[in-house]
C-alpha cells in the first residue's frame, strides 16, 4: 500500500486527517506511533525530526508529508476521491482554507494548551496561559456562533476541509470549554458533525484510548 499515516488514535490533529481519508475511502495503512516508547520514538524521529503527528508517507513517490492541512491538500491533488474537500471554485476554496485555519489556530491550539497543562507536575501549571486559552476559545465560539447562523457546514451546504478541522477541535474543546446551551448554533453544528460516518468512525477508534485522556471524566456519556 502506497500511503502510510503515522498517527495516534487519541490525537486530535490526527483525527482531522483520518476524517478526510475516511470521507473519500482513500486506502492507507495506519501506523500508531507511541512516542513514550524509546524505540518507536526514535524510529519516527528519523522520519520526521520535528516529532509531531500525523505524518503521511507516500512510498510510491518517496515523499514524507507533514502538517494536517498540507496532508489533506496533498491527498486532494494526488489521491482524489469521490468528493473534493477543497472546492474547485476559488471563492469557496478560500473559505474552506480560512475556516480550516480558524478551527486549527483559534480553537484547536488553545484547547491543546489546556489539555497539556493537565500533564504538568503539580506546582508547574501555567494558570495564566490556561485562562488565556479559555478566553481565546470563547472569543472563537462567539465568532463561530454568528457564522453558523445560516449554514449547514462550515462554508455552507457542502462538507469540506474546514469541517474535517472542526470535528476534532470542537470534540475536545467541548470538553475543556463547553459550548452546549450558550452557543446553540455550534451545538447543532457539532451534532451534525458527529453524525457524519467518517467522524463517528474516528471517535469509535479513539474510544479505547479515552482513559489516557487527562480529562476523561468530562467526556460526554454519548461518546463512551
Taking residues 201-220, what's their average pLDDT?
A: 97
Same domain assignment for residues 73 and 104: no
String of DSSP letters for the chain: --EEEEE-TT-HHHHHHHHHHHHTT---EEEE--TTSHHHHHHHHHH-TT--S-EEEETTTTEEEESHHHHHHHHHHHS--SS-SS-SSHHHHHHHHHHHHHIIIIIIHHHHHHHHHTTSPTT---HHHHHHHHHHHHHHHHHHHHHGGG-SBTTBSS--HHHHHHHHHHHHHHHHS--TTT-HHHHHHHHHHHHSHHHHHHHHHHGGGGGGSTTGGGS-GGG-
Domain boundary, last residue among 23, 55, 78: 78
Same domain assignment for residues 62 and 107: no
Q: What is the pTM for the complete model shown?
A: 0.96
Task: Judge whether residue 1 has pLDDT over 80.
Answer: no
Taking residues 116-132, what's their average pLDDT?
A: 91
pLDDT digits (tens, 9 = 90+) for 66-115: 999 999 999 999 999 999 999 999 999 999 999 999 999 999 999 999 99
Q: Residue 29 sits in which domain range?
A: 3-78
Same domain assignment for residues 103 and 176: yes
Predicted local confidence at residue 35, as pLDDT:
84
Task: Judge whether residue 122 has pLDDT over 90.
Answer: no
What percent of the chain has pLDDT above 90? Answer: 92
Same domain assignment for residues 103 and 167: yes
**Does residue 85 lie in a domain region?**
no
Q: What is the number of domains present in the chain?
A: 2
Predicted local confidence at residue 104, as pLDDT:
98
Taking residues 21-37, what's their average pLDDT?
A: 95
pLDDT digits (tens, 9 = 90+) for 135-183: 999 999 999 999 999 999 999 999 999 999 999 999 999 999 999 889 9
Amino acid at each position: 500500500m502506497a500511503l502510510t499515516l503515522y498517527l495516534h488514535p487519541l490525537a486530535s490533529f490526527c483525527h482531522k486527517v483520518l476524517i478526510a481519508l475516511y470521507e473519500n475511502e482513500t486506502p492507507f495503512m495506519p501506523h500508531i506511533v507511541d512516542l513514550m516508547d524509546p524505540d518507536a520514538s526514535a524510529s519516527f524521529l528519523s522520519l520526521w525530526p520535528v516529532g509531531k503527528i500525523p505524518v503521511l508517507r507516500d512510498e510510491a513517490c518517496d515523499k514524507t508529508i507533514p502538517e494536517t492541512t498540507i496532508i489533506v491538500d496533498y491527498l486532494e491533488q494526488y489521491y482524489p476521491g469521490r468528493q473534493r474537500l477543497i472546492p474547485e471554485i476559488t471563492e469557496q476554496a478560500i473559505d474552506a482554507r480560512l475556516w480550516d485555519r480558524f478551527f486549527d489556530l483559534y480553537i484547536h491550539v488553545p484547547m491543546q494548551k489546556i489539555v497539556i497543562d493537565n500533564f504538568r507536575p503539580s506546582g508547574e501549571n501555567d494558570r495564566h496561559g490556561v485562562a488565556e486559552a479559555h478566553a481565546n476559545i470563547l472569543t472563537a465560539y462567539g465568532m463561530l456562533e454568528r457564522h453558523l447562523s445560516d449554514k449547514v457546514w462550515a462554508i455552507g451546504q457542502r462538507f469540506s476541509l474546514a469541517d474535517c478541522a472542526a470535528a476534532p477541535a470542537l470534540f475536545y474543546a467541548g470538553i475543556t470549554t463547553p459550548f452546549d446551551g450558550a452557543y446553540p448554533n455550534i451545538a447543532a453544528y457539532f451534532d451534525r458533525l458527529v453524525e457524519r460516518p467518517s467522524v463517528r468512525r474516528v471517535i469509535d477508534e479513539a474510544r479505547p484510548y479515552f482513559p489516557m485522556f487527562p480529562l476523561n471524566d468530562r467526556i460526554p456519556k454519548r461518546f463512551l
